[in-house]
Structure 1
């Protein structure tokens, strides 16, 4: 662990398991409540007594140092990330490593150019001539709680803007992927000038430490990414001290194909999206809404692509769909596949473990058919390579079905007519939308959801400002 600038062993350790082989990928310190207490104390002390919050030049320099150090260590980090997360190595060239590392530089640039002080000019409220300014200041101590599916992306998407804004941070990585967080901590301690206590990383096999972090009165802001159910618990814990909460939660996003779209191309895109990283992404589109008159054609085209993708060793450069993170997650996905059968659905492809793999946590890419939008498998987040095909009766019906969800994180629309696609996209109650295959992900693009998909935004200027307070100052003119 990294606590108060020092690499600290745990009183005990726990194993992180390679989901493709079931072998031990790493042995990591198992933090305790005492470790978390020390980390929060160090972060509080560094914010209240240190110079980090006031020294913009140091913050910018340190973020660029961290970016460059991560790049120098990329070969080891890439290999170990594939082993711990089970993500295809192809994705480490994008959102699993390279892109979030580069985004640290974007946040450094933003902090350097940001308007930290805005002059509102003179006014005479209540007859008192005054000069007023608006100041932007760091929120304080940030508690960051992250999930296992894209550990580097989400860890760095919290560390980057929080540090750029002048906060200190206590990061609690997910129990399934602790090594990814611990590795960043080692690099911070050994290869950057980030002062002691500014970043603290506590690995643990227990979710309880995350709950302690959210409830602690010394923490000013909690940034959490994970399930909606856990997000509710985080919000409830934070309520006792009225601390600010940023939540990026679940999704059940719709991929809308309109009746004038290139059906084969659109369905292939939908199939690829749900197979990437075995569907373990909150913003992945997992409901395929297609014109009723072409439902059978769409199902066949989608199933054909999903069968062709299959599953593969995540170390293979050609793999798209690797294993699920754990036996527990595989069991959860299999429970939803049984439920699909019980609700009257069928499988156009998949629906089982691959018969040729007796080690690892695998599920074949699966296309569920024959169920309405109200079915549980069409409403609840499965977090596996599972797509539900649902017919619609035109644009209005497609919008109705897409929005008939407790979530509102992502979405996609395909049409040969860009104006028509945009018209549908504007009506989707989601935080991000892809039109005709456009890619919204990037450090400069705000990400977050409507409804039960979260509160606030991550990344972009909006995500940076989540970590700031606003102060208005006036003096006599």
Structure 2
């Protein structure tokens, strides 16, 4: 067990650990339902102090102008996180319910490495660009552009991939020269607090540059979104909450960057290896119990092979099953909380009300404790059903028939979301053609992996605004200034 599970966490405000003015709140292990310990519970007054500290650090220090210091500090942070990876791994498995195998990828090791990648982007970035001499209105002028930090960033993050999402905001925001107030989800406060403790004790990041405010009060996110001292809000979470974040920032015309929900389609073409495709679709939707916004949760298969695809996918889902996240062989661990399990179960009940049937799963897994739901395959529904259109965030796959490539594209695009997707087919050019017509921010062809620090991630339509990761994600945290002088 991690050393962090043996003590209470604190806030990080203005370079100092601080207790929460609201006392403490529990954090629990979703696989066992046992309370791990307590986290600092911030109030509006604590958030106000954190925002003030970030504002002062941006306005009154050299952080935004000292590129060498920023690169140095981010390299320190990545190195220190890597040195604590084993402790962080145990903490992440315990608090998030993340399968151990996933902590060697997107749940921990990959985002730690990504921090150093953003330091490299900043070090090699073209901060100024000479536009040369021109004569607008007959007046010779030399012009150039300069990229500068936006200012104070409010980062509001969810519980499903806390390290990946926290660091995907902290890394580029800091590399660009911003200061940050991070409000992590109340379900996973220790993951954020542990990073804050490492940052405080093992890096040269100046006081106030990073502030971490844990709380079980969701109103603090609204406070962060609406405060005039905050220049940009970067939010990851549900589309409904994303709308509220946009509304809170609207009076101040605040820049808002949103990474929201998804209901992504896994399209199987009629020349695909059906068994391999259905097996991968089953594995994908079970990963971390389906608690990923970009996981493919609609399986589109040729109508002529629908029954065979149902049988193959159901068999694969049963083979995955559920297990203890501490077991290296577990793919599908628990849901994060009883509240989330209730939500998933409500959709399973809705599926039956809408006329759907379960080819496998359909309820709680048979375990003594923990928030486990069986990997579930729903048949007999159309793409117009709520279960096929709304984000469930559990190990639940809806299988739908299609009548050829055009129909598959139509169904895939018939969604309020546009975050991710997948296409499987033997003819690569044909598969590429289908992928090009799917209106989503990412598409994997035949198992291609789109995740990476160098690769932009984000969505179309109600899946969000802006991009995270890559140079595009770094530039979300920059302003563009044009400077002109007589030539």
TM-score over 0.5 (shorter chain):
yes
Partner deviation per Cα, 1:30-59 (whole Å, 9 max, x = no partner): 001010000000000000001100000000
The answer (yes or no) to whether the contact 1:367–1:389 under 8 Å persists in 2 is: yes
Which residues of 2 match residues 95-244 of structure 1 at below 5 A? 95-244=106-255
Distance 2:72 2:338 in 1: 42
Partner deviation per Cα, 1:91-141 (whole Å, 9 max, x = no partner): 000000000000011100000000000000000000000000000000000
Distance 2:52 2:100 in 1: 38
Partner deviation per Cα, 1:156-195 (whole Å, 9 max, x = no partner): 0000000000000000000111111111111111000000
Distance 2:360 2:472 in 1: 41
**What's the secondary structure of 1:308's corresponding residue?**
helix
Select which of 29, 35, 40 maps to 1:18: 29
Distance 1:265 1:359 in 2: 33
User: How many residues of Structure 1 are paired with residues of Structure 2 in the alignment?
Assistant: 476
Q: CA deviation at 1:417?
A: 0.4
The answer to whether residue 400 in structure 2 is matched with residue 395 in structure 1 is no
Which runs of 4 or more aligned residues in structure 1 lie more than 2 Å from their structure 2 counterparts after TM superposition? none
Match of 2:379 in 1: 369
Distance 2:433 2:71 in 1: 41
The answer (yes or no) to whether the contact 1:26–1:179 under 8 Å persists in 2 is: no
Match of 1:245 in 2: 256
Distance 2:353 2:144 in 1: 62
Select which of 309, 312, 316 maps to 1:298: 309
> Structure 1 length normalisation: TM-score?
0.99
**What's the secondary structure of 1:83's corresponding residue?**
helix
Q: CA deviation at 1:145?
A: 0.1
Match of 1:339 in 2: 350
Which segments of 5 or more consecutive residues in structure 2 lack a partner in the other structure? 1-10
Distance 1:239 1:77 in 2: 37
**What's the secondary structure of 2:110's corresponding residue?**
helix
The answer (yes or no) to whether the contact 1:25–1:80 under 8 Å persists in 2 is: no
Distance 1:168 1:231 in 2: 22
The answer to whether residue 474 in structure 2 is matched with residue 442 in structure 1 is no
The answer to whether residue 440 in structure 2 is matched with residue 413 in structure 1 is no
Q: CA deviation at 1:24?
A: 1.2
Which segments of 5 or more consecutive residues in structure 1 lack a partner in the other structure? none
